[in-house]
A and B are shown apart, each in its own frame.
Chain A
Amino acid sequence: MLTNQEVAQDLIRQFGSAVSEFDDPFDLLTLTTTREQILPVLRYLRDHATYRISFLTDITGVHFPDELGREFCVVYHVHSLTQNFRIRLKVFLSADDLHVPSAFPLYASANWMERETYDFFGILFDGHPDLRRILNMDEMDYFPMRKQYALEDDTRKDKIDELFGR
């Protein structure tokens, strides 16, 4: 049975300062890496003889507009089906440079996950075979999951939070 400690130490040995911010919320090993190192880390975990963390569960994005210089985050969940070990990898990107390498060469399933992330956050996956919108229409000229797009019309007077003491 793999422990978070063990994998984290091994990753530090392998990648040094490229992996950081280790945490384990709800026992799920979480770490941050750089966009240069994300593919090597994913490949290392996938091809490791004992870890075999070779199932890509999910790729998604998060927008933190207040964290200057690292406004966007790409989150990878990978899973080892043999060891039953999950790990969460994050890559933070600056809003003016949203490029990250595509994981498609490693996992076929990354194709649509990355298209979805591009569609909603505008994160550009370099080397993706077909980076187009997937759920929204092609003509759309903004990325709707970014926080600056309020869900509801700002002009509505009946939904002002202060009126409800929030």
Chain B
Amino acid sequence: MTTEEIELSNVNVPVVPESEKVQYVNELTTLNLGPTHPATHGIFQNILQMDGEIIVSGEQTIGYIHRAFEKIAERRPFYQITTLTDRMNYCSSPINNIGWHITVEKLLGVTVPKRAQYIRVIMMELARISDHLICNGILGVDTGAFTGFLYLFEQREAIYEIYEEVCGARLTTNMGRIGGMERDLSPTAIRKIRKFLKEFPPVMKEFEALFNRNRIFMDRIVDVGSITAERALSYGFTGPNLRAAGVDYDVRVMNPYSSYEDFEFDIPVGENGDTYDRFMVRNEEIWQSLRIIQQAMDKLPDGPYYADAPEYYLPPKQEVYKNMEALIYHFKIVMGEIDAPAGEIYQAVEGGNGELGFYLISDGGRAPYRLHFRRPCFIYYQAFPEMSKGTTISDAIVIMSSLNVIAGELDA
């Protein structure tokens, strides 16, 4: 014992009369969650007012990775905008790319052959699987279970290898072209898709066995972040988050695009709209996506993989060397010299997180007059303060994780 400590221990604590005691008032703490917090999976900030560990209110700051895509798009020819779209929801870029192509094709009046539509469906459903795998895997990590995430990432890698085989890129895919796909499914790609269809279900079953009825996991997420169907609709929820609240709205069924009407699949819905329902809905959607891919692979029609739209679809390279028209079209397309017809169009596709909409106004020029992206994340993320109110900080992390907020899509 040092002399100081001995002296302290000898001090008699004076007895304070009750009337002179310090009154402790209930003081709120301000907690900055983000902008660069590992548990927010992206750069956005939540300024939370905390009463002890309970969240009283929250204020969101977003826009940290805003890249002005809508402004950039006003200067670019249509095919160059594809590269902007895959930087929005980078967990499922093919859906963004193909959604944009479908929008432009509708404006141009181009009909895409069945084979290209089926290939698109396969790629979009693979993208949906990889999107949901990340969301559910990360939800496991946020509740303290790393194993499931690790197993699922191996399968996501298999999906990325398929992307690589189809378009040459993994994350920012730039997949497809206006009028079809840039190349046919190669034998390797078909082999890899078939391999994935065979090897993925056992892993997914294992993942579900590990999580779905796991006591610890359920204690963490059941009845956490519930939202009623009415509130979810008012907040503009779409996709799995809306379906978890019990509304069976799916763009693939309601406004089929790219031949989705040819396939048989179910729309899973939840009951309570809580984190557990969102988790389960995503799991079930993975199974339904597998069903769609299986059907598309079995029924994959023969025929061309691109439309006869020479003004928009690049001619084969050997033609460019030999054929004058092909050379002209090649030059005009690459330089962005092709004028699109004037028109106003809204086209929605079912993205990984919900209704991904493209509102396009063309004034007859080479670039859009105005292009607006309806980004599902941006619209439903505003419900987060309401959903996290009265919960603890650890629950808020889980709620945010299950909403699957992708910063790229949030900020565009």
Query: In the assembly, what is the distance between CA of A67 and CA of B372, in Å?
Result: 20
A-chain residues with CB within 8 Å of residue B68 when the two chains form the complex: 144
Contact residues, B360-412 vs A (CB, 8 A): 361, 366, 369-370, 372, 374, 378-383, 411-412
Query: In the assembly, what is the distance between CA of A111 and CA of B383, in Å?
Result: 10
Tell me whether B317 is interfacial, beta carbon within 8 Å.
Answer: no
Given contacts A57-B355, A135-B411, A151-B74, contact A108 B235 (CB under 8 A): yes
Q: Shortest Cβ distance from A90 into chain B, in angstroms?
A: 10
Tell me whether B206 is interfacial, beta carbon within 8 Å.
Answer: no
A-chain residues with CB within 8 Å of residue B372 when the two chains form the complex: 58, 60
Tell me if A151 and B72 are in contact (CB < 8 A).
yes
Tell me whether B335 is interfacial, beta carbon within 8 Å.
Answer: yes
Query: In the assembly, what is the distance between CA of A81 and CA of B72, in Å?
Result: 33
Tell me whether A84 is interfacial, beta carbon within 8 Å.
Answer: yes
Tell me whether B196 is interfacial, beta carbon within 8 Å.
Answer: no
Which of A1-9, A10-18, A23-31, A33-41 makes up part of the contact surface?
A23-31
Given contacts A60-B372, A151-B71, A166-B366, contact A26 B379 (CB under 8 A): no
Q: Shortest Cβ distance from B367 into chain A, in angstroms?
A: 10
Tell me if A137 and B249 are in contact (CB < 8 A).
no
Tell me if A58 and B357 are in contact (CB < 8 A).
yes
Tell me if A164 and B335 are in contact (CB < 8 A).
yes
CB nearest neighbor in A for B231:
A108
Tell me whether B346 is interfacial, beta carbon within 8 Å.
Answer: yes
Contact string against A for B residues 79-110, beta-carbon threshold 8 Å, 1 for contact and 0 otherwise: 00000000000000000000000000011000
Q: Shortest Cβ distance from B387 into chain A, in angstroms?
A: 12
Contact string against B for A residues 25-64, beta-carbon threshold 8 Å, 1 for contact and 0 otherwise: 1101010000000000000000000000011111010110
Selected contact of B344 from candidates A25, A58, A135, CB within 8 Å:
A25
Contact residues, A102-148 vs B (CB, 8 A): 107-109, 111-113, 116, 120, 133-137, 144-145
Tell me whether B186 is interfacial, beta carbon within 8 Å.
Answer: no
Tell me whether B113 is interfacial, beta carbon within 8 Å.
Answer: no
Contact string against B for A residues 155-166, beta-carbon threshold 8 Å, 1 for contact and 0 otherwise: 000000000111
Tell me if B357 and A55 are in contact (CB < 8 A).
no
Tell me if B75 and A56 are in contact (CB < 8 A).
no
Q: Shortest Cβ distance from A129 into chain B, in angstroms?
A: 11
A-chain residues with CB within 8 Å of residue B54 when the two chains form the complex: none
B-chain residues with CB within 8 Å of residue A133 when the two chains form the complex: 63
Given contacts A136-B66, A144-B68, contact A54 B233 (CB under 8 A): yes
How big is chain B's contact interface, by range? 35 or more
Tell me whether B48 is interfacial, beta carbon within 8 Å.
Answer: no
A-chain residues with CB within 8 Å of residue B185 when the two chains form the complex: none
Tell me if B235 and A62 are in contact (CB < 8 A).
no
Q: Shortest Cβ distance from B28 into chain A, in angstroms?
A: 20
Tell me if B72 and A112 are in contact (CB < 8 A).
no
Tell me whether B244 is interfacial, beta carbon within 8 Å.
Answer: no
Selected contact of A112 from candidates B71, B335, B357, B379, CB within 8 Å:
B379
Tell me if A113 and B379 are in contact (CB < 8 A).
yes
Tell me if B382 and A86 are in contact (CB < 8 A).
no
Query: In the assembly, what is the distance between CA of A129 and CA of B219, in Å?
Result: 36
A-chain residues with CB within 8 Å of residue B62 when the two chains form the complex: 134-135
A-chain residues with CB within 8 Å of residue B378 when the two chains form the complex: 112, 116
Tell me whether B359 is interfacial, beta carbon within 8 Å.
Answer: yes
Tell me whether B70 is interfacial, beta carbon within 8 Å.
Answer: yes
Query: In the assembly, what is the distance between CA of A57 and CA of B347, in Å?
Result: 12
Contact string against A for B residues 264-308, beta-carbon threshold 8 Å, 1 for contact and 0 otherwise: 000000000000000000000000000000000000000000000
Tell me whether A70 is interfacial, beta carbon within 8 Å.
Answer: no
Query: In the assembly, what is the distance between CA of A107 and CA of B236, in Å?
Result: 8
Query: In the assembly, what is the distance between CA of A30 and CA of B66, in Å?
Result: 30
B-chain residues with CB within 8 Å of residue A165 when the two chains form the complex: 337
B-chain residues with CB within 8 Å of residue A135 when the two chains form the complex: 62-63, 66, 411-412
Tell me if A26 and B249 are in contact (CB < 8 A).
no
CB nearest neighbor in B for A25:
B344
B-chain residues with CB within 8 Å of residue A54 when the two chains form the complex: 233
Tell me whether B204 is interfacial, beta carbon within 8 Å.
Answer: no
Tell me whether B22 is interfacial, beta carbon within 8 Å.
Answer: no
A-chain residues with CB within 8 Å of residue B235 when the two chains form the complex: 108-109
B-chain residues with CB within 8 Å of residue A137 when the two chains form the complex: 63
CB nearest neighbor in B for A23:
B344
Q: Shortest Cβ distance from A148 into chain B, in angstroms?
A: 12
Contact residues, A89-103 vs B (CB, 8 A): none
Query: In the assembly, what is the distance between CA of A108 and CA of B384, in Å?
Result: 12
A-chain residues with CB within 8 Å of residue B233 when the two chains form the complex: 54-55, 81
Interface residues in chain A, defined as those with a beta carbon under 8 Å from any beta carbon in chain B: 25-26, 28, 30, 54-58, 60, 62-63, 75, 77, 81, 84, 86, 88, 107-109, 111-113, 116, 120, 133-137, 144-145, 151-152, 164-166
